[in-house]
Amino acid sequence: MNGYTPQADFGTPEVSADTVVTLTIDGRAVTVPAGSSVMRAAAECGGSIPKLCASDNLAAFGSCRLCLVEVEGMRGTPASCTTPAADGMVVHTQTPRLQKLRRGVMELYISDHPLDCLTCSANNDCELQDQAAAVGLRDVRYGYEGASHLGAEADTSNPYFDFDPSKCIVCSRCVRACDEVQGTFALTIDGRGFASQVSAGQAGDDFLSSECVSCGACVQACPTATLQEKAVKQIGLPERAVVTTCAYCGVGCTFRAEMRGQQLVRMVPWKDGKANRGHSCVKGRFAWGYAHHQDRITSPMIRDSVDQPWRIVGWDEALDYTASKLAAIKAQHGARALGGITSSRCTNEETFLVQKLVRAGFGSNNVDTCARVCHSPTGYGLKTTFGTSAGTQDFDSVMDADVIMVIGANPTDAHPVFASRMKRRLRKGAKLIVIDPRRIDLVHSPHVEAAHHLALQPGTNVAVLTALAHVIVSEGLADEAFIRERCDWDEYQDWARFVADARHSPEALEPVTRVPAGELRAAARLFATGGNGAIYYGLGVTEHSQGSSTVMAIANLAMATGNIGRRGVGVNPLRGQNNVQGACDMGSFPHELSGYRHISDAGVRALFEGDWGVTLDPEPGLRIPNMLDAALDGSFRALYIQGEDILQSDPNTHHVAAGLAAMELVIVHDLFLNETANYAHVFLPGSTFLEKNGTFTNAERRIQPVRKVMEPANGLEDWQVTQALANALGLDWNYTHPSEILDEIARLTPTFAGVSWERLELDGSLQWPVNADHPDGSPIMHEAGFVRGKGKFVVTDYVPTDEKTGPRFPLLLTTGRILSQYNVGAQTRRTANSIWHGEDVLEIHASDAENRGIGDGDWVRLTSRTGETTLRADVTDRVAPGVVYTTFHHPATQANVVTTEYSDWATNCPEYKVTAVQVSLSNGPSEWQEEYADLTARARRIAAEAAE
Amino acid sequence: MEIERLVYMANQIGRNLATEDNPAAATADHIRLFWDPRMKAAIAAHFVAGGEGLDAVVRDALTGS
């Protein structure tokens, strides 16, 4: 196919070994790491041994009998996939005997395979077809009249791929991919001998009703059209492929966008991707249909007030209108009345430009980003303790961990591809400690069982971590040698005295944390003595009134046990959105410029002022919640929001709505008329990740290219829109490609000094810091010493949240995510993923449900002191009595109507994880839901439609 | 800016920095580094006007501002 090359497959996995062996294959000498298979060795030297059941992301299976070889001095014809290469071995892969055997094997396969190649969706992309040609198959002596599977019915239940058992050769690659790569164990081979067939789940299940998570690993592994993307059937095979980076979670999977003209056929995980190593999840693999969804707006629109319908205008009119409004507000109310929000879904270059527009164009530091509501405490906590605002490891590091502690994170749902890596390590024997109010899937899933699940009371993270530290210090389990060498010893002693105090013992804190003291002590001992200890955490850590304290407590724990600065250990924030790390790196916070340098630093300011030709405000700007507060008092009046939906994502929806409604000018730059756009005066259409060039930075600090695979539907990439707005304001920006913005970032940001588009093209990706000290990047940080010099122990006293339960609101609500939906759902709700999660539901324990007369599936009213909504109940023991849980993916539910304005003391990150609520049976939507539905219908009118 | 909200924020900072060697200085430093000028001005004005609701450590922090 023109421009399309399948990904190389070496047959069996790459082996890492200290020694090598040299063998001869078909007369050619080849040297490979000891332990490599003969098949791998042959592929390494450019040879190709026929195969069907082998793939280099799966353990050798030795089933298909097609890869037979002859080895001098060895009897028979061993399978090359299961035969280890040995020194001096002489191998022949093409002999008359082997050809005869292989043809015989292939005849058997083909005798039970439909001969419909010309009309098959995999025609020209089928390994069975390729191997039939490779072995020289010319006829099938057995005929086609005998028993066969050709009449087997296809399973089309999955929205993204079909399973056609009539084409199955029972090579087990799909089953093994589900087991070894994904770790779900949803598939099996049912039956024996001729009756063997691939089966999803239990008898009677189809793919949709089974435990399959639609990661696509089985589809990728299938050598025939048995498991095939529906899109390939509809569109045809791709004709070119472009490597790019996924725009969903912070794992940052690399994909090949496989195209047919301007049409995306499929996203296939790239095997050379260093974050995902060839794996994917249901979102990145399949849920890209939103890019051409009918709801997408591709023309600019304006209106003078939000009660008017939108008016479609050209770019010039929209930008002139916006610029004149901004200028007028600035003239009347000053620069500090203007601000902007950068997007964690946009590229580094786009984010950098938005914050530059705010600082250099608007003239204020009122710029913030959605990390405010997720990982801002990570930035504060890790900068304070280690000296830099980022995780310490690469994802590969988990394969060297002996004890994995997961705190307030649900990787199988929120970071599924990394979760599969973690599960692979756990299946090999690493121990798992889960600290979470809910029984997340990792606690108990196929072949994974947590050694300890500390099901703490929401809001008591700091108390639990202090209790863990208490055990480690008081039982003499701290790594004093590490601490003396790498940390400030005096600060450690202060901290050690604090945590060793009897009031911080697990027993003393058990009434607060509700974690059994014995279980907690055992977990502490395991973490301190079990070998390499790695901590992974998520928003269950940060989204609390003590989010920053919890991050610092985690850092304390890692330092106290010497678990920093090498593979297999570390402190690893699992970032929510694809470019949260990058948005933070790019200077999106109101108090700091790119590279986490404070705006009050005159030297740093001078660097930017010299480059940009402006004078910068030396004072920190407003954070998002402060912007909304200031809007209500009239001192903040205009907001440019790129790629975020704060009305749905931020806490206390009523307050957010009031703040937005109070502004004179709200500019929404997005793909869709999102919830925030209900209060907007200007809508600037955005471009998807498929339509732009740039870079994303994932949770392991890996900077990866995003490559344009199709032209923007709106005509402009997002950085071009921001540049056009800047120029309408009188700035003189002339970037012609994001690489030029990246050069500016590198010029102004020491940790990015060695990053360029050319380097990324060459290396594929780079992990910052990339500079003179780390020319090839930094997979592991703090190896020789902490960025700040000595690691800083910070005393983190437990301060209970002010959000209290009581007679009116006796339950604690905690919120989170689900696998098939992403953040506010703007993208995933516009895909077939909604088949798995069409609405938010409320998890409630059976005892709490029983007390309220609530049955599974009943409509219930969820009420807090800030608001109420209704949704269906899911009665479960996944949550503890007294705790309820829901997601925030659907605006019709709008879980944030209920959440409060309590926030982290250091960063104002909202306390989404603790809201006192009451739950009762409901017979209809809440008053707010009805009002909001009306408001949305009015706010989304577009003039042409309104005139009809 | 709604002063009750700022008072709450300032007190929360003070409570969480209570274990610092000099909690008042740490609180003052935090406000200096992270608050917008209008927020600083509003809390300072509130303090001058009597500082209702402010914890002692925050009052000490604002004394030097």
Which candidate, B64, B63, B65, B61, places its Cα nearest to that of B9? Answer: B61
Instruction: Show which of A730, A751, A767 is a domain's final residue.
Output: A730
**Chain A residues in contact with B20 (beta carbon < 8 A):** 795
How large a percentage of chain A has pLDDT more than 70? 99
Secondary structure string (H, E, C) spanning A606-666? HHHHHHHCCCCCCCCCCCHHHHHHHHHCCCCCEEEEECCCHHHHCCCHHHHHHHHHHCCEE
User: Residue A172 — very low, low, confident or very high, per pLDDT cuts 50/70/90?
Assistant: very high
**Chain B residues in contact with A495 (beta carbon < 8 A):** none
CA–CA separation, A755 and A747 (whole Å): 9
Cβ distance A535 to A382 under 8 Å? no
A600 touches chain B (CB under 8 A): yes
User: Residue A507: which CATH number?
Assistant: 3.40.228.10
Chain B residue with CA closest to A365: the answer is B36
User: Residue A896: which CATH number?
Assistant: 2.40.40.20
Mean pLDDT of A915-932: 94
The mean predicted confidence, pLDDT, of chain B is: 96
A795 touches chain B (CB under 8 A): yes
Cβ distance A383 to A389 under 8 Å? yes
Q: How many domains does chain A have?
A: 4
The tally of CA atoms less than 13 A away on the side-chain side of residue A209 is 7
Considering the domain architecture, whether residues A508 and A422 belong to the same structural domain is answered as yes
Residue A813: beta bridge partners?
A884, A915
Considering the domain architecture, whether residues A32 and A128 belong to the same structural domain is answered as yes
The pLDDT assigned to A947 comes to 42
Quick check: A473 pLDDT over 70? yes
Cβ–Cβ below 8 Å for A629 and B1: yes
Shortest Cα–Cα distance, B31 to chain A (Å): 9
Among the partner residues B5, B13, B37, nearest to A905 by beta-carbon distance: B13
A366 touches chain B (CB under 8 A): yes
Strands A28-33 and A915-921: unpaired
Considering the domain architecture, whether residues A325 and A348 belong to the same structural domain is answered as yes
Residue A818, domain extent:
811-939
Q: How many CB atoms lie within 10 A of CB B52?
A: 10
pLDDT 10s digits, A414-444? 999 999 999 999 999 999 999 999 999 999 9
User: Residue A945 — very low, low, confident or very high, per pLDDT cuts 50/70/90?
Assistant: low
Shortest Cα–Cα distance, A620 to chain B (Å): 5
Residue A534: beta bridge partners?
A404, A570
Mean pLDDT of B1-24: 96
Residue A139 located in a structural domain: no
Give the contacts of A478 (CB within 8 A, at least 6 positions apart). Answer: A472, A496, A528, A560, A561
Among the partner residues B9, B15, B36, nearest to A799 by beta-carbon distance: B15
**Chain B residues in contact with A626 (beta carbon < 8 A):** 1, 36, 39
User: Edge-to-edge strands of the sheet including A702-706?
Assistant: A694-697, A702-706, A766-767
Considering the domain architecture, whether residues A591 and A700 belong to the same structural domain is answered as yes
CA–CA separation, A412 and A430 (whole Å): 17
Shortest Cα–Cα distance, A344 to chain B (Å): 21
Instruction: Show which of A573, A608, A640 is a domain's final residue.
Output: A573
Mean pLDDT of B49-55: 97
Longest alpha-carbon distance in chain B = 31
CA–CA separation, A577 and A823 (whole Å): 8
A283 touches chain B (CB under 8 A): no
DSSP string, A713-754: TTSS-HHHHHHHHHHHTT------SHHHHHHHHHHH-GGGTT
User: Residue A344: which CATH number?
Assistant: 3.40.50.740
Residue A558 located in a structural domain: yes
Question: What SS3 state is found at A693?
Answer: coil
Assigned token pair, A35: 């332990």
CA–CA separation, A154 and A8 (whole Å): 29
Instruction: Show which of A518, A543, A573 is a domain's final residue.
Output: A573
Positive or negative, the Cα torsion across A299, A300, A304, A307?
Answer: positive
Question: What SS3 state is found at B52?
Answer: coil
Mean pLDDT of A15-27: 96
Shortest Cα–Cα distance, B48 to chain A (Å): 20
A546 touches chain B (CB under 8 A): yes
pLDDT 10s digits, A270-307? 999 999 999 999 999 999 999 999 999 999 999 999 99
User: Residue A121: which CATH number?
Assistant: 3.10.20.740
Mean pLDDT of A914-939: 95
Mean pLDDT of B14-40: 97
Which candidate, A586, A585, A624, places its Cα nearest to that of A353? Answer: A586
Taking any CB pair shorter than 8 Å as contact, residues of chain B touching chain A are 1-2, 5, 9, 12-13, 15-16, 18-20, 30, 33-39
Cβ distance A905 to A546 under 8 Å? yes
ipTM of the complex as predicted: 0.98
- Phi, then psi, of A243 in degrees rounded to 5: -80, 130
pLDDT 10s digits, A556-594? 999 999 999 999 999 999 998 999 999 999 999 999 999
CA–CA separation, A938 and A308 (whole Å): 8
Quick check: B64 pLDDT over 80? no
Quick check: A1 pLDDT over 60? no
User: Residue A693 — very low, low, confident or very high, per pLDDT cuts 50/70/90?
Assistant: very high
Which candidate, A94, A179, A162, places its Cα nearest to that of A134? Answer: A94
**Chain B residues in contact with A336 (beta carbon < 8 A):** 36-38
The tally of CA atoms less than 13 A away on the side-chain side of residue A28 is 13
Cβ distance A365 to A601 under 8 Å? no
**Chain A residues in contact with B36 (beta carbon < 8 A):** 336, 365-366, 590, 619-622, 626, 630
Quick check: A248 pLDDT over 80? yes
- How many interchain CB pairs under 8 A, A with B? 57
The pLDDT assigned to A204 comes to 84
The mean predicted confidence, pLDDT, of chain A is: 96
Considering the domain architecture, whether residues A596 and A514 belong to the same structural domain is answered as no
Considering the domain architecture, whether residues A85 and A100 belong to the same structural domain is answered as yes
Quick check: A247 pLDDT over 80? yes
Mean pLDDT of B37-60: 97
Q: How many CB atoms lie within 10 A of CB A429?
A: 7
Cβ–Cβ below 8 Å for A498 and B19: yes
- Whether omega for the bond prior to residue A769 falls within 30 degrees of 0, making it cis, is yes
How large a percentage of chain A has pLDDT more than 90? 96
Considering the domain architecture, whether residues A568 and A708 belong to the same structural domain is answered as no
Q: How many CB atoms lie within 10 A of CB A46?
A: 9
CA–CA separation, A767 and A779 (whole Å): 6
**Chain A residues in contact with B34 (beta carbon < 8 A):** 591, 620, 906-907
Residue A59 located in a structural domain: yes
Considering the domain architecture, whether residues A860 and A882 belong to the same structural domain is answered as yes
Cβ–Cβ below 8 Å for B36 and A633: no
The ranges assigned to domains in chain B are 3-63
Chain A residue with CA closest to B2: the answer is A629
Cβ–Cβ below 8 Å for A619 and B34: no
**Chain B residues in contact with A629 (beta carbon < 8 A):** 1-2, 5
Compute, in degrees rounded to 10, the torsion defined by CA atoms A887, A889, A891, A895: 20
Contacts for A772-778 with beta carbons within 8 Å, 24 or more apart? A778/A701
The single-letter DSSP state of residue A363 is -
CA–CA separation, A52 and A224 (whole Å): 10
Cβ–Cβ below 8 Å for B36 and A797: no
Which candidate, A462, A459, A415, A464, places its Cα nearest to that of A441? Answer: A415
Shortest Cα–Cα distance, A621 to chain B (Å): 5
**Chain A residues in contact with B18 (beta carbon < 8 A):** 797
Residue A921 located in a structural domain: yes
**Chain B residues in contact with A630 (beta carbon < 8 A):** 1, 36, 38
Among the partner residues B13, B19, B33, nearest to A591 by beta-carbon distance: B33
Angle at A373 between CA A356 and CA A453, to 5 degrees: 140
User: Residue A2 — very low, low, confident or very high, per pLDDT cuts 50/70/90?
Assistant: very low
Which candidate, A921, A917, A919, A652, places its Cα nearest to that of A806? Answer: A917
Quick check: B23 pLDDT over 80? yes
pLDDT 10s digits, A216-227? 999 999 999 999
Considering the domain architecture, whether residues A65 and A130 belong to the same structural domain is answered as yes
- Phi, then psi, of A466 in degrees rounded to 5: -65, -40
DSSP string, A124-180: TS-HHHHHHHHTT----TT-S-S--STTPPPB--SSSEEE-GGG-----HHHHIIII
Angle at A405 between CA A399 and CA A410, to 5 degrees: 95
